[in-house]
Amino acid sequence: MAGTAGAALALLPVAASAHAQLVGSSPAPGAVLATLPATVDLYFTEPVTPAGRGISVYGPDGRLVSNGTARAQGVQLTVGLGAAMDGTYAVIWTVIAADTHPSRGEITFSVGHSSPVRGPGLGGGDVGLVSPIGLVLQSLGRWLHFAGFALGFGAATYALFVAGDPRPMRLAGAGVALLLVAEPLALFAQTASFDPAQTFDGDALTSALASSFGRVLGLRVAAAILLWAVLGALRQAPWLRWSIPALGGALALVDATAAHGTPALPQPLGLLLNALHVSAMGVWVGGLAAFAIAPSGGFGRVAAWSAGLLIVSGAALALLHFANPLQVMTTAYGEILLVKLPLVGAALYLAWRARRRWELAALVAVLAVAAVLVSLPPPR
Amino acid sequence: MRRIHYAWIVAAVTWFTLLAAAGFRSTPAVLIVPLQHEFGWSRATISIAVSINLMLFGLFAPFAGGLMERFGVRRVVVGALLTVSAGSGLTVFMHQPWQLDLLWGVVVGVGTGSMATVLAAIVANRWFVQRRGLVLGALTAAGATGQLIFLPALAWLAVNMGWRTAALVVASAALLGIPLVALFMRDRPADVGLRAYGATEADEPAPPLRNPVRAALGGLAMGARNRNFWLLAGSFFICGASTNGLIGTHLIPASIDHGMPEVTAASMLAFIGIFDVAGTMISGWLTDRLDSRWLLFWYYGLRGLSLLFLPYAFGMQYFGLFLFIVFYGLDWVATVPPTVALTADTFGRRNLGVVYGWIFASHQLGAAGAAFAAGAVRTYFGDYQLAFMTSGVLCLLAAGLVIRINRTRGQETVAAAPLPAASY
């Protein structure tokens, strides 16, 4: 099973870093032209697919003047224009990066003279290239996903391999439920990130599902359902327990394809590093929750190893995402990371003092911050 | 040398009947275009008849089970062959769309539905104790193969001799089957003074004669009270949705969408059919030896994974699709023998016909639902990705459902010899 998932993963087109950002456009932002060009061309940091129309251009009278859906060609996105009016045009772009992250933005240019910008606009207040409500929903969805991953795979692995006690297995069922709540939430987060008013719009939802995001979402739901199926089969076939950590690893790899890429590393290495980070998290957090139900002396060593792996892989990922140390202070990503580090420190301290309940609380908080972090564009 | 057990003769007659019934059922597929040319009816209009045909093929199954209990297998099959023959023959005179709906939809749908998978289940369970799964596998494979092997010949007839010739050939084939069935088919081993093949004790007594409609509805009531019924019907709904409904109807257009020539795409489906024969026979053989729940668990699990793989397979062109065809083809209807075995385990062999009839109706509802839904998804999304991934996830769900089936018998069943599957 894990082998098949791995083979499927090898086929995923994952390139570049994360969160497509606009690096250039024709016409340039703020340009004042003599005549309206035939097309608007946008250039991004990485290959993109249009979400919805991809590019919507609104004329000085507030009417949509772009023709249909934008065409994507690698990092370039193009749409034709059909209008002839002097004044300021608003260009709103909505794209999905290869790693499934949504992003949007707005530029303006003028023909003849500038005029007040009409058209719907983005409402302002964008954080990390998406609408604020979209960011909140994305973070919430990822938080539930992380928690579900930890309970579903981590707690079951602890129960089967460390404690040898079936009691924590009900946590695994709860983990499946959390995962199945998290994935639809992620879908609505995707549509809300582009336009909160279209969160439940049929076209927006279908467009999201038909994209690379839809594929990853399908694989995540599949992993949760497969875990549920294996949990049912365990009573009759104890040897199947090996498939639970294997399936967890496969899901961590799926998650890695939708996590921030690391352009400094070869792609498979970056994926493995990300998957390792998520897996170690699952073993530590899920094991801790299961420990509360069925304590076992073996947990200390497992927790120490997974915490160690977690910190080493996390540190490597953090270093790879910053081009220079100053970015820790100047980007939203850096600031959130500064919130995460003391929380991780607190969790480690509580682990060392064996205050298991507080340790778990601290880790749940770390997961929440990590969920925000993954939803923001990294500096690199 | 020992004489051949009469059970094998009954199995052979049933095998030919199922092969023919499947061929009759699938005939409208090759008539769509000729009818469109002659009468100028739209594809949607003609599709209504095909949908009615598909739905009745499934929904009539429990009533066919009831009819076979009341009137006997031989009479029901002879009646069904007459019905198909009349329905197919009369189409020669039609000139209005409602006549097509009535003849190909209702009449042929009911006729073929009476001979389909319920017949296989009843014959295998009444006549065989040993080799039951193998026989069931062979009979089921005949039903699946019949839908594929006659199509080229019928299409050739329709193109070169006109669709009326094709319809008349079907009508005569059904008529020719009648003497074969009337001469050799027997209802129960006791009718020829035998025990079921491999049986060590006398068969369950024939149940008292019941009103077929009441028997069918009684079977539903009995099933609805049992958790296993819902687990089996739910997983079989998914089975129908992910085979006949989705792949059977939409793999060819999806492949054409991805730039494959139509003939190549159609041959892919034929290859699925070939792997399916092997897969279903092996599945029947395994059902005689292993726990049916585990077989279904692996069938659904592998089918789910291969469907999840399909959107990526289109990206790899032929090699990826070949992998898909092998994995997917091997368990196209391999799910039937274990599902029948589990139904017999839970409800006893005397109730198998009607209860399995309802479970099969659920299969056809899934097929009809998925055929429609996948078409809608294609129209709306411009791509089948969502349809394939959803069915993949549903198959994994089915794997989780079947493994939760409880093997202890329900209270409604009479004590009977344990099935081979239960002796594992």
Residue B191 lies in a domain: no
Average pLDDT score over residue span B241-268: 71
Domain boundary among B144, B170, B185: B185
Q: Considering only CB atoms, which chain B residues are within 8 Å of A12?
A: 312
Q: What is the pLDDT of residue B313?
A: 77
Q: Considering only CB atoms, which chain A residues are within 8 Å of B392?
A: 218, 222
Flag whether pLDDT at B207 surpasses 90.
no
Same domain, A204 and A294: yes
Put simply, the answer to whether B305 touches A206 (Cβ < 8 Å) is: no
Largest CA-CA distance found in chain A, in angstroms, rounded: 77
| pLDDT band per the 50, 70, 90 thresholds, residue A12 | very low
Same domain, A75 and A162: no
Put simply, the answer to whether A226 touches B301 (Cβ < 8 Å) is: yes
Give SS3 for B199: coil
Average pLDDT score over residue span A143-160: 95
Interface of A with B in 231-290 (CB under 8 A): 232-233, 236-237
Percent with pLDDT over 90 in chain A: 45
Higher pLDDT, A295 or B2: A295
Interface with chain B: mutation pick from A9, A209, A234, A243, highest number of B CBs within 10 Å: A209
Q: Considering only CB atoms, which chain A residues are within 8 Å of B254?
A: none
Residue B106 lies in a domain: yes
> What residues make up the domain containing B93?
6-185
Task: Pick the closest to residue B223 from B335, B351, B64 (CA basis).
Answer: B351
CATH number for position B102: 1.20.1250.20
Same domain, A275 and A337: yes
Q: What is the pLDDT of residue A17?
A: 54
Instruction: Find the residue in A nearest to B382 (Cα).
Output: A210
| pLDDT band per the 50, 70, 90 thresholds, residue B208 | low
Task: Pick the closest to residue A230 from B304, B178, B58 (CA basis).
Answer: B304
Average pLDDT score over residue span A172-192: 94
Picking from B380, B382, B392, the nearest residue to A222 by CB comes out as: B392
Same domain, A206 and A154: yes
Same domain, B136 and B282: no
Distance of CA B310 to the CA centre of its chain: 24
Residue B177 lies in a domain: yes
Residue B201 lies in a domain: no
Domain boundary among A111, A144, A159: A111
Put simply, the answer to whether B312 touches A11 (Cβ < 8 Å) is: yes
Distance CA B188, CA B195 (A): 9
Same domain, A145 and A273: yes
> What are the tens digits of pLDDT across the range A117-144?
887 777 766 777 888 899 999 999 999 9
Task: Pick the closest to residue A200 from A187, A210, A213 (CA basis).
Answer: A187
Count of the separate structural domains present in chain B: 2
Average pLDDT score over residue span B15-42: 80
> What are the tens digits of pLDDT across the range B137-180?
888 888 777 776 676 677 778 778 888 888 898 899 889 989 98
Q: Which two tokens stand for residue A184?
A: 């639809």
Q: What is the pLDDT of residue B422?
A: 28
Q: What is the pLDDT of residue B262?
A: 62
Distance CA A62, CA B86 (A): 66
**Closest chain A C-alpha to B350 CA, distance in angstroms:** 29
Put simply, the answer to whether B399 touches A215 (Cβ < 8 Å) is: no
**For every residue of chain A, which 3-state class applies, written as one string?**
CHHHHHHHHHCCCCCCCCCCCEEEEECCCCCEECCCCCEEEEEECCCEEEEEEEEEEECCCCCECEEEEEEEECCEEEEEECCCCCEEEEEEEEEEECCCCEEEEEEEEEECECCCCCCCCCCCCCECCECHHHHHHHHHHHHHHHHHHHHHHHHHHHHHHHHCCCCCHHHHHHHHHHHHHHHHHHHHHHHHHHCHHHCCCHHHHHHHHHCHHHHHHHHHHHHHHHHHHHHHHCCCCHHHHHHHHHHHHHHHHHHHHCCCCCCCCCHHHHHHHHHHHHHHHHHHHHHHHHHHHCCCCCHHHHHHHHHHHHHHHHHHHHHHHCCCCCHHHHCHHHHHHHHHHHHHHHHHHHHHCCCHHHHHHHHHHHHHHHHHHHHCCCCC
Interface of B with A in 290-309 (CB under 8 A): 291, 293-294, 297, 301, 304-305, 308-309
> What residues make up the domain containing A45?
22-111
Same domain, A106 and A133: no
Same domain, B237 and B119: no
Please say whether the beta carbons of B188 and B122 come within 8 A: no
Same domain, B155 and B234: no
Residue A116 lies in a domain: no
Picking from A5, A210, A221, the nearest residue to B385 by CB comes out as: A210
Task: Pick the closest to residue A189 from A128, A233, A134, A263 (CA basis).
Answer: A134
Same domain, A224 and A79: no
Same domain, B221 and B329: yes
Average pLDDT score over residue span B44-73: 82
Same domain, B297 and B391: yes
Same domain, B111 and B32: yes
Residue A380 lies in a domain: no
Distance CA A59, CA A112 (A): 13
Residue B197 lies in a domain: no
Residue B235 lies in a domain: yes
Q: Considering only CB atoms, which chain B residues are within 8 Å of A8?
A: 308-309, 312
Residue B192 lies in a domain: no
Residue A122 lies in a domain: no
Same domain, A317 and A286: yes
| pLDDT band per the 50, 70, 90 thresholds, residue A178 | very high
| pLDDT band per the 50, 70, 90 thresholds, residue A220 | very high
Interface with chain A: mutation pick from B297, B316, B327, B383, highest number of A CBs within 10 Å: B297
| pLDDT band per the 50, 70, 90 thresholds, residue B408 | low
Residue A196 lies in a domain: yes
CATH number for position A98: 2.60.40.1220
Same domain, A219 and A323: yes
Same domain, B178 and B275: no
Q: Considering only CB atoms, which chain B residues are within 8 Å of A218?
A: 308, 386, 389-390, 392-393
Put simply, the answer to whether B400 touches A219 (Cβ < 8 Å) is: no
Same domain, A160 and A134: yes
Same domain, B134 and B171: yes
Same domain, B323 and B239: yes
Tell me, what amino acid is at A92?
I
Count of the separate structural domains present in chain A: 2
Average pLDDT score over residue span B258-268: 69
> What are the tens digits of pLDDT across the range A76-126?
999 999 877 889 999 999 998 877 888 998 899 999 888 888 877 777 667
Q: Does B382 touch chain A (CB under 8 A)?
A: yes
Same domain, A295 and A349: yes
Picking from B293, B294, B315, the nearest residue to A11 by CB comes out as: B315
Q: Lowest mean pLDDT: which of A275-284, A321-330, B37-46, B353-362?
A: B37-46
Domain boundary among A62, A80, A111: A111
**Sheet of A32-33: strands edge to edge?**
A32-33, A102-111, A87-97, A48-58
Q: Considering only CB atoms, which chain A residues are within 8 Å of B312?
A: 8, 11-12
Q: What is the pLDDT of residue A124?
A: 66
**Where would I find the beta strands (DSSP E) of B25-108?**
none
Distance CA A284, CA A281 (A): 5
Residue A3 lies in a domain: no
Q: What is the pLDDT of residue B378?
A: 67
Interface with chain B: mutation pick from A96, A180, A206, highest number of B CBs within 10 Å: A206
Task: Pick the closest to residue A208 from A224, A192, A221 (CA basis).
Answer: A192
Same domain, A79 and A163: no
- For CA atoms B164, B169, B170, B174, give the dihedral sign: positive
Same domain, B273 and B136: no
Interface with chain A: mutation pick from B227, B385, B408, highest number of A CBs within 10 Å: B385
Picking from B309, B397, B399, the nearest residue to A8 by CB comes out as: B309
Higher pLDDT, B373 or A346: A346
CB-based burial, B162-181: b 16+ in 10 Å, e otherwise: ebbebbbbbbebbbebbebb
Flag whether pLDDT at A9 surpasses 50.
no
Domain boundary among A77, A111, A145: A111
Same domain, B174 and B233: no
CB contact set of B212 (below 8 Å; sequence gap of 6+): B63, B66, B67, B69, B70, B71
Q: Considering only CB atoms, which chain A residues are within 8 Å of B315?
A: 11
Distance CA A137, CA B290 (A): 47
Q: What is the pLDDT of residue A207?
A: 80
Q: What is the pLDDT of residue B263?
A: 64
Q: What is the pLDDT of residue B209?
A: 63
Distance CA B110, CA B80 (A): 8
Please say whether the beta carbons of B114 and B18 come within 8 A: no
Average pLDDT score over residue span B260-279: 74
Q: Considering only CB atoms, which chain A residues are within 8 Å of B381?
A: 206, 209-210
> What are the tens digits of pLDDT across the range A184-204?
999 999 999 888 888 888 778
Flag whether pLDDT at A154 surpasses 90.
yes
B194 C-beta neighbours (distance < 10 Å), count: 16
Q: Which two tokens stand for residue A117?
A: 């910008």
Same domain, B173 and B287: no
Residue B353 lies in a domain: yes
Distance of CA B52 to the CA centre of its chain: 16
Flag whether pLDDT at B233 surpasses 90.
yes
**Closest chain B C-alpha to A214 CA, distance in angstroms:** 8
Q: Which two tokens stand for residue B189?
A: 């081993």
Question: Could you give the angle at the alpha carbon of A14 between the alpha carbons of A11 and A19, nearest 5°?
Answer: 155
Q: What is the pLDDT of residue B325?
A: 83
